[in-house]
Amino acid sequence: MRRLDLTGQRYGRLTVIRELEQVGKYRFWLCQCDCGNVVRVRQENLRSGNTTSCGCIKAVDLTGRTFGRLTVLRRTGTRRFKKATVPLWLCECQCGNIVTVQSSNLLNGHTKSCGCLSGRIKKMSRTRRKWSKEAVIEEIRRRHSAGLSLGYNDTVADDEALTGAAKRWFGSWYEAVEAAGFDPEEYKNKREPKMRWDKPTVLAEIKRYSEQGGNLSAGSVRKHYSRLYSAATVHFGSWKNALKELGIDYDDVRLTQEWTPEKVLQTLQEANRQGADLSDRTVSALRPDLYGAAITHFGSWPEALRQAGIEPEKARRTETWSREKLIETARRAYECGITPAQLIEAGLIDTYTVYRHIEGGLGELSRIVQETGEHGEDEIIIENRLAEIMDEKEMSINRLAKRINRSRTHIRHIMNSTRTPKLADALLIARELGCHVENIWYIK
């Protein structure tokens, strides 16, 4: 199968430069943001839309802006979502409700109300509506008053039945919009006529753009006039070469500093002398320009550290896992009543690490931990009446697990075990069932 090549493609504010070294089963790409920063992004995050910038758009102030039926009042803080910090905004809906919404959901149009609008749409979709010309016009006016777009693509995504009825009664959607008293041209997707690019046209357009006060730095042009930037790259090899043809020194207009291999090594050595954190994750988050330059000149971050005389293993902050260490960590956690699944939920172990070191993944790790936990030398074989007493007390596994703050898997393990449970588990279970510990477990 042919490998997917993302080089040159744009995802939000990111332009893919080249592919980096694959880590396990994950592919990574070196991308340049419109603000000039260079970042490393996983392929899945690019294609799914989870990552659309280097992080610079997080600082956008949305106060006072309106999104559908929501008006942004102020910023209320942040929340962690998929290993990223997401800004939260306090918004007031037209119905009077106050809600907190992520900035990404506001900007991409995913959230347009407090839920009242979607509730009405769902309620209407559950009952078959009887359409007439008057009903179609009334619904179009209702959408307009609710602050929703009357464009065809937006409307068919929200209410396909309305667009279908409009076509049946008026012949087309935009004729129905016009019958409702609105100008269809305001909502049609207008496309600018395509320009035929060649070298003279590119140079003339750069001159015109500059005379109108446009910023000629690569990041600015790629953001505000991407077609010109792409055409210059195609015909001249790079934006810098296109400016050179016009006699413009790119160093006079660039916004970011130029990183040479010597400058990268000098910066790393100085940071190491000052005791700075040079781990991969920290530098990529706080100094994406340095991180991107190091990867560009040396191929990888560990190699850049080696060239600077720094041992990569001493700089890293993440845990180095092996099969034995993974099993031992999970076993110790299990002795404290914490299952491997709960370790992953807490972020102490990631799923990829488990599947990389243990064939069979999480299920196999749980089985190994339970087996090793059941064969201690000092454990006493007991008679276990937990399942019987739970039936007598009409106590389900789910309810008991919630009351003593344990997982259902842990409760099942205790029910089926012939070994002594942990003292804390025994006391908690006996208290919830209203009986003595020796009534549940006793030595044979």
Q: Which amino acid is at 21?
A: E
- Which of 142-146, 246-250, 317-321, 382-386 comes out lowest in average pLDDT? 317-321
In angstroms, the Cα distances linking 69 to 95, 96, 111, 124, 128 are 8, 10, 9, 19, 26
Residue 77: pLDDT band with limits 50, 70, 90: confident
pLDDT of residue 81: 62
pLDDT for the residue 94:
84
Q: What are the CA-CA distances from residue 29 to residues 221, 294, 416 (Å)?
A: 22, 14, 49
Strand (E) or helix (H) holding 17: strand 14-19
Average pLDDT, the chain: 81
Dist. CA 390–CA 75, nearest whole Å: 49
pLDDT attached to residue 376: 44
Weakest mean pLDDT among 62-71, 78-87, 280-289, 382-391: 78-87
**146-185 burial, b if ≥16 CB within 10 A, otherwise e?**
bbbbbbbeebeeebeebbebbeebbeebbebbeebebebe
Residue range 225-252: mean pLDDT, rounded: 86
Backbone angles phi, psi at 72, to 5 degrees: -75, 125
Angle subtended at Cα 160 by Cα 157 and Cα 165, rounded to the nearest 5 degrees? 145
pLDDT at residue 84, as a whole number:
60
In this prediction, residue 307 carries a pLDDT of 92
Task: Output the pLDDT for position 146.
Answer: 77
| pLDDT, tens digit (0-9, with 9 covering 90-100), for 186-195 | 877 655 456 7
Confidence of residue 203 (pLDDT cuts 50, 70, 90): very high
Q: Report all structural domains of the chain as residue ranges with CATH numbers, in order of start.
A: 10-55 (no CATH), 128-186 (no CATH), 199-252 (no CATH), 261-315 (no CATH), 323-373 (no CATH), 382-443 (1.10.260.40)
Q: Three-class SS of residue 151?
A: coil
Model confidence at 120, in pLDDT bands (50, 70, 90)? Answer: low
Tell me: pLDDT of 88 over 60.
yes
Q: With 80 as the cut, is the pLDDT of residue 325 above it?
A: yes
